[in-house]
Amino acid sequence: MEDEIDLRKYVDVLIRQWKWIVGLAIVSGLAAFIVSSLIAPTYEATALVVVTRSRYQLQFDPRIETVAQPQQAYRAYPELALSDDLVLQVMERLGGELNTDERDLESFRMRLSARAGADPTLVRLAATGTDPNQAQAIVNAWAALYVAYANELYQQQSNSVTFFEAQVAEASQELEKAEQALIDFQARNPINVVEAQLESKQMALSDYLAADRTISLIIQDARSLQQQLAQQDDNAPVTLADELAALYLQVDALNAQASVPIQLQIGGSGSLASRTVSEQVALLDALINALQDKAIEIRREIDALEPEILELQEAQQAAQVELDGLTRIRDVADDTYSTLARKLDEVNVAAQDESGEVRLASQAAVPTDPVSPRKALNTVFGGLLGLMVGIAAAFVIDARQSAAEKSPALTRPAQAS
């Protein structure tokens, strides 16, 4: 109980010195009110800007896709509003409406504030000033320039049009070059001529190979017939069947199609079966020799045709490769030009939409109530400050008074003695 704090003595001090406490609170509150009254009032004008989402997205060609801005970009809009470039544009727009001391970039920026609303798509722009009309003019000019600045920065419609116009012009020139190169090649295109020559050579080779095969078979049949006749008497007359077989071999030899004619000596006198076996054998020998000579000539022609065909095939393939390359270049150039042309049309259509994604939601009206100084609030704070100072002063004054009262009481007994 001895350590308990006795609050009665503090309350007694406050009661005894209440005049100081009340007086300082009143004086401090009154001083705050007077100072607040002497300060020029500051007004704040506010405009609202909203970032909307596109209701449609043009896509004439899926190969060049327009990339949508992510939602994280919303956080950059308030900071973007206070960029040096935009603030300088606002100062240039206002021009003579600003005083000389207000044309400093940092000083002017201190009068502006930009912050996001409860929804990140909403940006609140505010401008302060002692003149409410000037504050309204500043924030409205700032909001209009900010909408145009943000739309141009994020959508870049004018830059996109210029870029794609240059790309389309370049692609058109490349397409013209590719088409002209293809036209020049067609003026000297040897493919059809080479193909005709190659087809003719291949047909001749095919005929020669067929004739060589036919002659080989006729020679085999002739030798088989000779073997049959060798078993008979040389002076005996040849049978009708053997005579007809020999005749058929001669006819087949004559029908063999080749460019080199076969010279055969066929007797024209006597009846069909008037020859002897020896004469028939001699006739077959002559036929075989003629066919062998013919086979040798055919193989020479085949050997001569092979390099010519290979040369023509090489020329044909080289011309075809050149044609394919020029055609491929033309197709790529045409596809590039068509793609860029469609994208340019898309950008031109999008550029006609002047509203953009960033739009002015609300212009600022002329503010009627100043935001500072707040006289009532300053007076209350001044009074509270004076009250606290008065309480501290009350304890100091009371302590001095108590000390002064005790000093005479200590000196009186000494004087009496």
What would the pLDDT profile of 100-115 be if each residue is shown by its tens digit? Answer: 666 778 888 888 888 8
Q: How far apart are CA 78 and CA 119, in angstroms?
A: 13
| pLDDT tens-place string over residues 5-62 | 667 777 777 777 777 778 877 888 788 777 766 667 778 888 988 887 655 455 555 6
Is residue 64 in some structural domain?
Answer: yes
Q: 266 pLDDT band (50/70/90 cuts)?
A: very low
Between 417 and 219, where is the model more confident?
219
- pLDDT value at residue 287: 82
Q: 268 pLDDT band (50/70/90 cuts)?
A: very low
Is residue 124 in some structural domain?
Answer: yes
Residue 42 β-bridge partners: 372
Say whether 53 sits in a helix, a strand or coil.
coil
Q: What is the CATH number of the domain that holds 60?
A: 3.30.70
- 123, 204, 225, 283, 399 from 241: Cα distances, Å: 117, 36, 11, 15, 168
CB atoms under 10 Å from CB of 184, counted, come to 11
- 13, 27, 164, 389 from 398: Cα distances, Å: 7, 20, 87, 14
Q: 313 pLDDT band (50/70/90 cuts)?
A: very high
Is residue 251 in some structural domain?
Answer: no
Is residue 192 in some structural domain?
Answer: no
Between 295 and 355, where is the model more confident?
295
Q: 321 pLDDT band (50/70/90 cuts)?
A: very high
Is residue 48 in some structural domain?
Answer: yes
Q: Which of 206, 204, 189, 203 is nearest to 316 (CA)?
A: 189
Parent domain of 136: 43-155
| pLDDT tens-place string over residues 193-231 | 999 999 999 998 888 888 888 888 888 888 888 888 888
Is residue 105 in some structural domain?
Answer: yes
pTM score above 0.85: no
Is residue 60 in some structural domain?
Answer: yes
| pLDDT tens-place string over residues 343-360 | 888 777 766 665 667 888
Q: How far apart are CA 212 and CA 202, in angstroms?
A: 15
Is residue 76 in some structural domain?
Answer: yes
- pLDDT value at residue 95: 79
- Sequence-distant contacts of 295-302: CB under 8 A, at least 24 apart: 295/212, 295/215, 295/216, 295/219, 297/260, 298/208, 298/211, 298/212, 298/215, 298/258, 298/260, 299/212, 301/204, 301/208, 301/259, 301/260, 302/205, 302/208, 302/209, 302/212
CB atoms under 10 Å from CB of 27, counted, come to 15
Between 178 and 43, where is the model more confident?
178
How many domains, the chain?
1
Q: How far apart are CA 176 and CA 168, in angstroms?
A: 12
